[in-house]
Amino acid sequence: MNSLVPVNQTKAIAAVPMKEWFSAQEIADAQVRLRLTVMPQTKQGVINYVKRNDWHSFAEQHREREARGGGYEYHISLFPDALRAAILAERSTEITLVETQAKKNRELAKRSALSTASLSARQREVMNARATILSAVEMLQVGHGMSRSQAIRCFVQDAEATGISEDVLATANDRAGAASKNISGRTIHRWFEKRDEIGLGALAPLPTKEKQEIPAWFWQFLRFYAQPQKPALSETLEKFLKAWPAHLVAPNYDQVRRLMNRLDESFGTLERHRGREGSLTIKSRMAYVMRSTDDLLPTCVYTADGKTFDAEVQHPLHGQPFRPEITSVVDVATRKCVGFSVGLAENTIGVVDALRHACEENGICAIFYVDRGPGFKNDALDNQLTGVIGRLGITKLHSLPYNSQARGIIERFNGSVWNPLSKEFDTYIGADMDRQAKQRAFKETRRDIKTLGTSRRLPSWEQFLTACRNAIAAYNAKSHSELPGKMSPNQYWEYHQSKGFEIVPVLEAESNDLFRPYSRRKTNRALVEFLGNSYFHLDLERYHGEYVLVGYDIHDASKVWVREIEMMDGEEAMGRLICIAIFSGNEERYIPLTMERAALEKRANARAKRLNDHLAEVEAELSPARFLEASATAPMPIIDITPEPVSAPNVEILADYQRPAEPEMPKRRTFASDEELAAWAIQNPESLTSNQVRVLRGCLQQPTAIELFRLSGIDLEALRNVLRAVA
């Protein structure tokens, strides 16, 4: 890891006088504080070290102390390189922490005074547009190794390349009928200064035009230059001039060379090599600059990824074996796992829940670095109006192909935590699992579930979640080779806190609104429908027949948050909060249906439809065979089988005869309930009949029956052992 000091911090560091003279006791204290061993860590040891190295022979690098007690002080230039660098880095970190804390205090004060529910549509639209532009510039800065000035110049030259549309630029200008949608670099610099000083509320539109610094013909020249054969500059110019119009003044070699230098200044040296080198070579040029984490503070960058667990566990709903999907969030600076979520598949619900857990427990991050999977690239996260990322003020950065250095942090976490955890279970199905043992575990779990409803090899959902929490706690407390002094993630996090670092918390007034997705719905007589649930509030009565925005919690369906829809330049925008509507019940359900449950039902219905389609296909394949087989059979002759009439028997005569006595059968034992049968079976396993075994096995496959057995005090494990012995 590289100890790099950002440019914007260098000026602040230079303005503060530095301590250059240290006594022997101060040198020893610095050794202990910085956890270094290049010099002794006691005062007497330092004095002996000074004598051995003859520091007193350097007249200008040592002096007598003016303080009481006498002794000598030594200049920092005499210190070993490691100690001198550590003291300079400590000074830089202290200044950075002071500035960062002051900035966060101002931002928290601004956010506390500003209620998101009271913002008008125009306030929200303009602030979001300008925040989007600043986020795009920061993405260029992080993604391409640029300084802030270089990233701004790149954005001004080609805003569309960053995904910013002309509508967003026009909204940021905030001028009615503005003909130009260009924003100057100076304006963006001012936006950054005001945002850093006051907050997002201080952003103001100052549209100007930016002059083009590089002539248009130079970009055509780069097409000849950007070839994998790597032609020389003079050879490229010669080929380019062959297509140059004769009536125009042709550029010369010096002009092209100066423009190439200007290209390096504006966009960095990587642009010179694009097209001449492949993606892997380009990656090697920018990796060591981009992925240094020495100057990062906790919560600066969170990285996340989904991981399919490599062992089967018991499904929480139907109890069948399946592999859950784990979404983990890791802080890049400290390598601490700050949040996670476990679901049935990597989807939007799991990602939002993991991000919510991380932000509420450990603070809001500045950058969210993820891949381009559907779980991380969707409307619930990215929507400019209702997305979670925009409302949190987070800059989301997607990893690029062949540029996954920071993604390697989360990949290493998966390999250090989830892969070893999956091997602790008998149902592990990874690539390195013995094939014979894997097949044996597979057959045994399926056989046990078919006969008993569960398997001893298959971990329950509660056991799996407990194992996940314990694995994360162990990882956060374990020494990490990439951290200073091989500290653990928890220790490094606490080290930053001891230096004055504080998280940006989710305020209580924001916690209920930031992570809530919204959907467009129509009101009807003070009611609003969502997911088949009815929600009621008297304030909705005057919005009868109008469309509103309904915000919901994916885990709690007891209430929804209803907002107005305002029109902004002919488009809909989120308005003020109307009310919090409460679930009132309906004809379909007695309990409200959560978003999470709705997703599970949708997935189950789709699976059932696929199975029905497959069954219909199988039946269609059998139908022609039956038809052909019936056609090939010879017709049967028609035979009159009408019975001759028989006279009715004389009942009185039959009554005179004595019927033979039937043998007495032993009485079969009956039970009033399945619970009574189960309790008797445990006490009398040798008397079980095959029909009773079948009934008990069927009960153990039903969650309701299992719960009744448990409430009745029946030992489920003893009952399963009895049924295994019978089998």
Residues 254-273: tens digit of each pLDDT: 988 888 888 877 777 777 77
* Structural contact between residues 250 and 244, judged by C-beta atoms closer than 8 angstroms: yes
Does an H or E element contain 281, and which? helix 279-290
Torsion sign across C-alpha atoms 551, 552, 557, 558: negative
Length of the chain, in residues:
727
Query: What local confidence, expressed as pLDDT, does residue 477 receive?
Result: 95
Residue 507 lies in a domain: no
Residues 168 and 80 in one domain: no
Question: Measured in whole angstroms, how far is the alpha carbon of residue 342 from the centre of its chain?
Answer: 11
* Structure token digits, residue 366: 């500045």
User: Has residue 210 been placed in a domain?
Assistant: no
435 and 316 share a domain? yes
Looking at the domain assignment, is residue 693 inside a domain? yes
Based on the fold, state whether residues 306 and 352 are members of the same structural domain. Answer: yes
* CA 391 – CA 516 distance, rounded (Å): 10
My answer on whether 84 and 141 are in the same domain is: no
Q: Are residues 227 and 356 in the same domain?
A: no
Summarize the confidence of residues 158-175 as an average pLDDT: 76
Residue identified by tokens 């107005």 is 564
Which amino acid is residue 303, in one-letter code?
Answer: T
What is the Cα–Cα distance from 589 to 583, expressed in whole angstroms? 11
Whether 613 is in a domain gets the answer no
> CATH number for the domain including 60?
1.10.10.10
Same domain, 161 and 194: yes
Q: How confident is the model at residue 637 (pLDDT cuts 50, 70, 90)?
A: very low
Domain assignment present for residue 644? The answer is no
**Checking phi first, is residue 473 left (phi over 0); if not, alpha (psi -120 to 50) or beta?**
alpha
User: How far, in Å, CA of 82 to CA of 27, rounded?
Assistant: 13
Of the spans 64-68, 229-233, 405-409, 596-600, which averages the highest pLDDT? 229-233
Q: Which of 593, 609, 640 is the last residue of a domain?
A: 593
Structural domain harbouring 416: 302-372+390-498
pLDDT of residue 492: 93
> How many domains, the chain?
6
Q: Mention every residue, 6+ apart, whose C-beta is less than 8 A from residue 688.
A: 681, 722, 726
Q: Are 28 and 40 in contact (CB under 8 A)?
A: yes
Q: How far apart are CA 363 and CA 601, in angstroms?
A: 33
Distance CA 78, CA 87 (A): 13
Q: Answer yes or no: is 383 within a domain.
A: no
Block residue for tokens 């002009």: 255
Q: Tell me how far apart the alpha carbons of residues 28 and 727 are, in angstroms, rounded to a whole number.
A: 75
Query: What confidence category does residue 311 fall into, taking pLDDT thresholds of 50, 70 and 90?
Result: very high
- In a shared domain, residues 235 and 318: no
Q: Among the listed ranges 306-320, 335-349, 497-511, 596-610, which one has the minimum average pLDDT value?
A: 596-610
CA gyration radius, the chain: 37
CATH number of the domain within which 339 lies: 3.30.420.10
**Is pLDDT above 70 for 119?**
no
Q: Model pTM?
A: 0.44
Strand order in the sheet with 337-343: 337-343, 325-331, 301-308, 367-370, 395-398
Residue 624 lies in a domain: no
Structural domain contains residue 642: no
pLDDT of amino acid 330: 94
521 and 494 belong to one structural domain? no
* 542 and 488 housed in the same domain: no
Look at 278 and 199; give whichever has higher pLDDT.
278
Residue 129 has a pLDDT of 76
Same domain, 121 and 195: yes
Largest Cα–Cα separation, the chain = 144
Q: In angstroms, rounded to a whole number, what is the distance separating the alpha carbons of residues 105 and 14?
A: 24
- Examine the domain organization and report whether 311 and 398 are in the same domain: yes
Residue identified by tokens 């981009």 is 290
Domain boundary among 437, 471, 498: 498
Q: Specify whether 48 is located in the same domain as 187.
A: no
* Residue in 345, 339, 347, 349 with CA at minimum distance from that of residue 323: 345
Q: Is the pLDDT of residue 9 over 50?
A: no
Name the band, by pLDDT with cuts 50, 70 and 90, for residue 561. Answer: confident
Task: Mark which of 75, 104, 133 sits at the end of a domain.
Answer: 104
